[in-house]
Amino acid sequence: MAQYHSSLDSVFLALADPTRRAVIARLGQRPASISELAGPFDMALPSFMKHIATLENAGLIRTSKHGRVRTCEIDRDRLSLIEDWLDEQRRLWEGRTDRLESFLRDTDKDHAK
């Protein structure tokens, strides 16, 4: 459970930045090298590499080096952590709505008596 929470913390934190979300969106299309990824951003390479490290530490991307080129690819399973958490919230919410509906139905029956 502690591991689950720590994973969720790092995934949510990694996505709390527009540059990192843009990298995820780009890698959702196909793997890319660091220089391809960095291209559209007006940012010094060391700053960009920090964003890449944050995404990699959160498990959202994997990187591998071939010769002098480091290639990044997305790990989509990691995004499903957030989808599962949202599903859980929806179930809690729907449970609440079901209870509210049955309360209103019962109240209605009482009034009809």
Q: Which of 25, 45, 69, 104 binds a second copy (CB under 8 A)?
A: 25
How many other β-carbons are positioned within 10 Å of the β-carbon of residue 72? Answer: 21
CB nearer to a second copy: pick between 21 and 105 = 21
CB distance 19 to 51 below 8 Å: yes
93 binds a second copy (CB under 8 A): yes
Q: Is 79 in the site for a second copy (CB under 8 A)?
A: yes
For residue 21, CA distances in Å to 78, 94, 97, 103, 108 come to 14, 29, 33, 42, 48
**Distance from C-alpha of 87 to C-alpha of 94, rounded to nearest angstrom:** 10
Check residue 53 for interaction with a second copy (CB under 8 A).
no
Of residues 27 and 68, the one with the C-beta less far from a second copy: 27
Question: In whole angstroms, how close is the CB of 3 to a second copy at the nearest point?
Answer: 12
Q: Is 96 in the site for a second copy (CB under 8 A)?
A: yes
Q: Is 18 in the site for a second copy (CB under 8 A)?
A: yes
Q: What is the C-alpha separation between 70 and 52, in angstroms, rounded?
A: 11
